Copies of this chain bind each other. A is one copy, B any other.
């Protein structure tokens, strides 16, 4: 808006912002270096002055996304399990809205430092539910894996057949928030149950 389509000086952040818009609106499959370069009005080779390779660009995107993970402060009336559910459902919705996120975070071997705050917050909620420090860490990882599985699963094994008898063929497979909540609440309950059993 400030300068029309005057081409900005090429920079790492300009590359990231264009890449992110493409990933959000058209999916990660459309995110090619050629496309990014074209939208920035430059050649493909020029990108390599600012990023080492495509994988690094994806890592930067993932880290940015992780840094913006929602953090849900529990309202004082919330029982611990409800606070945990609220936090993780927010993460679920956030990652559904940025559907490339789960794939990139799971696939990458980078450590997403941007996620540190959410990890801390999630562990704190588990500690507030009575878990030990180590159990809270393991519990966090278990919940994360459950979330990841729900997000990455695209195939209909125990396919959802709702009470009307329809198998929904609209929007091939948007992950189902209520199904995730069902599993989330049960895993949370289980974490509270087996406190003693360390290791």
Q: Interface on A for B, CB 8 Å cutoff?
A: 105-112, 115, 119, 137-142, 144-150, 152-159, 172-173, 179, 182-183, 185-191, 193-194, 197, 199
CA A95 to CA B105, docked complex, whole Å? 21
**Once the chains bind, are B187 and A111 in contact (CB under 8 Å)?**
no
Given the complex, which residues of B lie within 8 Å of A106, measured CB to CB? Answer: 152-155
Q: Contacts of A115 on B, CB cut-off 8 Å?
A: 157
The reply to whether B154 and A109 contact each other, CB–CB distance below 8 Å, is yes
Q: Chain B nearest CB: distance from A171 CB in Å?
A: 12
Chain B residues lying within 8 Å of A145, measured Cβ to Cβ, are 146, 149-150, 153, 183
Are A109 and B191 touching (Cβ within 8 A)? no
CB of B182 within 8 A of CB of A186, answer no
Closest B-chain residue to A150, C-beta based?
Answer: B145
Specify which chain B residues have a CB less than 8 angstroms from the CB of A188 in the assembled complex.
190
Q: Which of A107, A155, A179, A194 has the most CB of B within 10 A?
A: A155
Cα separation A193 to B115 with both chains bound (whole Å)? 31
B183 touches A193 (CB 8 A): no
B119 lies within 8 A of A155 (CB): no
Are B155's CB and A109's CB within 8 A? yes
Docked complex Cα distance between A47 and B31 (Å): 29
Option from B110, B112, B155, B190 in Cβ contact (under 8 Å) with A186: B190
